[in-house]
């Protein structure tokens, strides 16, 4: 809608609040006429029987009250004025609602420095059809389970509970999806690492042995004469369950606790782990002095790092400050696309432990030397991102 | 808010409120159902209290309220002042409640302010749309039919609505607790 029309509709809307009925009537005629030329669908939307009856009812109520207080003539006058005013307001509302581009609003919010709020609106818009559909499905299931419509209405609190819990789950999934995409605006902005050397991304399912593989790879690299720096994050296992992580400096072998599993909702950074600042400090020290020509091992970068937190700043600083010969990064499988995007590296090879036929250590070392094949399935994962 | 979840929760609970306004709100409005404002207010209160219980961050309720207003204006075609003012006041009321108190008290305070201001907000909206004469006449008619001072009638409505808000707030808090246990697998 161009600016002239916006001005016309704004004027018409303002004029409808005049106390003179001829001005209000004229504004109603202009509003309906302009809408007829600009957006006939909007006018059809206004001229629905249900809506018009509602307007008439509201105007009649106001008119009746005034007629009772000040006489029939005055009541009729007020009723007619209110009806015409409501017609103008509803018409202007219909045109504005159909003409204003939500994308434009989001762009405008971005320009005003409220990008996060714009993204929240965008997410809400995207989720609206899903929530509507879910509400219908949940209602149908609730009605069947309750044995009829009236019994279902009697058990509305349990329906609300299900719907609210479902909404919470979708919100959690949306947060995870935003983290997976390394969404720079909903999360803290992530500076791409942009390593200038060959980068090997080691991945695999949880428990596939990524950390032990990196320990063996570090030993193999040392045997071949490389200097190895960085850190490993071995799991802390108690009674067969993973309850946290330690961090070990690859060069000095110093070990600290990094994270412990805590009750849901009590973790840091939106995870179920409580992180120790001591652990992060050791990670920073491990990356503070990297000899030239080293192979840098980072085990691992997770959702926290992909949101710009955790080890990310230290890794970023190390890659910018030191002249390394190669980089090995561990990441869980679902985060491979997000990491590859956040790395913004010119030369990346992904090694998936479950797809390695022979010796995984040899595969990683060969990948660092540029001799390993790039596997098609991993390519597909990366392309999907 | 470095964690993403308060933002996504605010978006989703704001969207849920917006969706309820679009479906149930429209149906109640067109059906001229009595207490439709209070019914929709309760839906909004439940969404906001649940959101604040799941994500106890200052400002999260304001984001959800802004989202609901955004959806109401730009997707649902609602430029009518009443619901927009109602959503705005309710959002501020719940946020205020959770700033000055905690737990069910916060929800009750939010509910009292949100519901208590509802009749006043309606009178103001009627004043805007119908003019002072009609709004005054309605108040006078209601008062004289019952033989009571119009100001007392309004005060009565405000007290009744505020009581409903207090009960609704506490109920919403308890419901949010059940939702929390459902999501987090607690007892």
pLDDT tens, A243-276?
A: 889 999 998 889 999 988 887 656 666 567 888 8
Residues of chain B found within 8 Å of residue A124, distances taken between Cβ atoms = 11-12, 14-15, 18, 67, 70-71
Comparing A93-102, A139-148, A349-358, the range with the smallest average pLDDT is: A93-102
Pairing assessment for the beta strands A235-238 and A241-249 based on DSSP bridges:
antiparallel
Q: What is the pLDDT of residue A365?
A: 86
Q: Are A339 and A254 in contact (CB under 8 A)?
A: no
Please give the pLDDT value at position B26: 66
Taking the CA of residue A125 and the nearest CA in chain B, the distance in Å comes to 7
What pLDDT, in 10s, does the model give residues A3-45? Answer: 677 777 777 777 777 778 888 888 888 888 888 887 777 777 7
Q: Count other Cβ atoms within 10 Å, centred on residue B82.
A: 17
pLDDT over 70 at A181, yes or no: no
The burial class, CB within 10 Å (0-12 / 13-18 / 19+), for A215 is middle
- Tallying the residues shown for chain A, one arrives at 385
Query: Would you tell me which residues 123-182 of chain B have a C-beta closer than 8 angstroms to some C-beta of chain A?
Result: 126, 128-131, 133-134, 136-138, 140-141, 175-176, 178-179, 182
User: Would you say residue B2 has pLDDT above 70?
Assistant: no
Confidence label for A307 from pLDDT (cuts 50, 70 and 90): low
Give me the pLDDT at residue A302, please.
81
Give the mean pLDDT of A89-118.
Answer: 71
Better pLDDT: A234 or A341: A234
Q: What is the pLDDT of residue B78?
A: 54
Q: Average of pLDDT values for A182-210?
A: 70
Of B67, B134, B183, the CB nearest to A124: B67
Q: Is the pLDDT of residue B1 over 60?
A: no
Judge whether B27 is closer than 8 Å to chain A, CB to CB: no
The pLDDT of residue A375 is above 50: no
pLDDT of residue B80: 61
B116-128 pLDDT, tens digit each: 887 777 777 777 7
Torsion of CA B123, B43, B177, B50, to 10 degrees: -80
Q: With 50 as the cut, is the pLDDT of residue A374 above it?
A: no
Which residues of chain A lie closer than 8 angstroms to B15, CB-CB? 123-125, 127-128, 131
The answer to whether B108 and B97 are in contact (CB under 8 A) is yes
CB atoms under 10 Å from CB of A193, counted, come to 22
Stronger pLDDT, A354 or A380, i.e. the higher one: A354
**What average pLDDT does the structure give for chain B?**
80
Would the CB atoms of A70 and B23 count as touching at under 8 Å? Answer: no
Q: Write down the pTM of the prediction.
A: 0.55
**Is B183 in contact with A165 (Cβ distance < 8 A)?**
yes
Cβ pair A307, A188 in contact under 8 A: yes
User: A77: how many CB neighbours lie within 10 A of its CB?
Assistant: 17
Is 0.85 exceeded by the ipTM? no
Check residue A179 and give its pLDDT: 59
Evaluate whether A186 touches B6 at the Cβ level (below 8 Å): no
Q: What is the DSSP string of B135-167?
A: HHHHHHHHHHHHTS-HHHHHHHHHHHHHHHHHH
**pLDDT of res. A376:** 37
pLDDT at position B170 over 90? yes
The Cα–Cα gap between B76 and B156 comes to 33
Which residues in A lie closer than 8 A to residue B9 (C-beta atoms)? 168, 171, 175
Arithmetic mean of pLDDT over chain A: 78
Q: Give A364→chain B minimum CA distance, Å.
A: 34
pLDDT classification of A188: cutoffs 50, 70, 90: very low
Query: Which residue in A24, A91, A120 has the most chain B C-beta atoms within 10 A of its own C-beta, making it the best mutation to test that interface?
Result: A120
B94: nearest Cα among B176, B2, B5: B176
How many CB atoms within 10 Å of residue A10?
12
Residues with Cβ within 8 Å of B89's Cβ and at least 6 positions away in sequence, in order, are B113, B114, B117, B121
Gap between the Cα atoms of A371 and A374, Å rounded: 9
Q: With a cut of 60, say whether residue A118 has pLDDT above it.
A: yes
The answer to whether the CB atoms of B14 and A124 lie below 8 A apart is yes
Cross-strand partners of A351: A202
Across the interface, do A69 and B126 touch by the CB < 8 Å criterion? Answer: no
The pLDDT, as a whole number, for residue B106 is: 92
């Amino acid at each position: 809608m161009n600016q002239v029309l916006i001005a016309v509709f704004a004027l018409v809307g303002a004029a409808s609040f005049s106390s003179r009925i001829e001005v209000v009537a004229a504004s109603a005629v202009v509003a309906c006429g302009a809408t007829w030329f600009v957006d006939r669908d909007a006018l059809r939307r206004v001229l629905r029987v249900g809506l018009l009856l509602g307007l008439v009812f509201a105007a009649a109520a106001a008119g009746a009250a005034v007629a009772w207080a000040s006489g029939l003539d005055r009541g009729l006058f007020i009723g007619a004025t209110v009806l015409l005013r409501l017609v103008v307001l509803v018409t202007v509302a219909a045109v504005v609602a159909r003409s204003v581009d939500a994308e434009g609003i989001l762009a405008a919010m971005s320009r005003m420095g409220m990008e996060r709020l714009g993204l929240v609106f965008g997410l809400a818009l995207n989720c609206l059809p899903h929530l509507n559909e879910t509400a219908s499905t949940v209602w149908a299931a609730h009605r069947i389970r309750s044995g009829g419509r009236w019994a279902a209405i009697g058990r509305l609190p349990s329906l609300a509970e299900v719907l609210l819990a479902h909404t919470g789950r979708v919100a959690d999934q949306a947060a995870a999806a935003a983290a997976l995409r390394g969404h720079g605006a909903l999360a803290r902005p992530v500076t791409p690492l942009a390593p200038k050397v060959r980068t090997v991304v080691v991945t695999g399912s949880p428990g596939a042995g990524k950390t032990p593989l990196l320990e063996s790879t570090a030993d193999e690299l040392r045997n071949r004469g490389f200097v190895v720096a960085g850190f490993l994050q071995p799991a802390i296992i108690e009674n067969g369950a993973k309850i946290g992580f330690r961090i070990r400096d690859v060069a000095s072998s110093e070990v600290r606790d990094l994270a412990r599993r805590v009750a849901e909702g009590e973790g840091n950074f939106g995870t179920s782990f409580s992180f120790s600042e001591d652990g992060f400090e050791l990670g920073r020290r491990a990356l503070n002095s990297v000899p030239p020509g080293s192979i840098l091992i980072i085990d691992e970068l997770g959702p926290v790092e992909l949101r710009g937190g955790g080890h990310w700043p230290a890794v970023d600083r190390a890659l910018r400050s030191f002249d390394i010969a190669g980089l090995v990064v561990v990441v869980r499988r679902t985060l491979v696309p997000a990491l590859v995007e956040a790395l913004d590296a010119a030369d990346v090879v992904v090694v998936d432990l479950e797809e390695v036929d022979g010796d995984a250590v040899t595969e990683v070392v060969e990948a660092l030397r540029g001799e390993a094949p790039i596997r098609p399935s991993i390519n597909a994962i990366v392309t999907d991102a | 808010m470095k964690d993403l979840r308060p933002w996504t929760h605010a978006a989703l609970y704001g969207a849920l409120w917006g969706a309820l306004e679009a479906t149930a709100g429209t149906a109640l409005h067109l059906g001229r159902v009595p207490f439709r404002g209070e019914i929709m207010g309760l839906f909004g209160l439940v969404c906001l209290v649940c959101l604040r219980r799941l994500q106890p961050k200052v400002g999260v309720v304001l984001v959800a309220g802004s989202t609901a207003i955004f959806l109401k204006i730009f997707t649902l075609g609602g430029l009518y002042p009443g619901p927009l003012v109602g959503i705005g006041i309710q959002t501020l009321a719940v946020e205020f409640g959770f700033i000055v108190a905690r737990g069910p008290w916060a929800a009750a305070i939010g509910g009292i302010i949100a519901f208590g201001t509802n009749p006043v907000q309606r009178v103001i909206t009627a004043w805007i749309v119908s003019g002072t004469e009609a709004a005054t006449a309605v108040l006078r008619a209601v008062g004289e039919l019952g033989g009571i001072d119009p100001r007392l009638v309004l005060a009565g409505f405000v007290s009744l609505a505020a009581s409903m808000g207090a009960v609704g707030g506490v109920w919403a808090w308890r419901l949010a607790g059940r939702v929390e246990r459902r999501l987090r697998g607690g007892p």
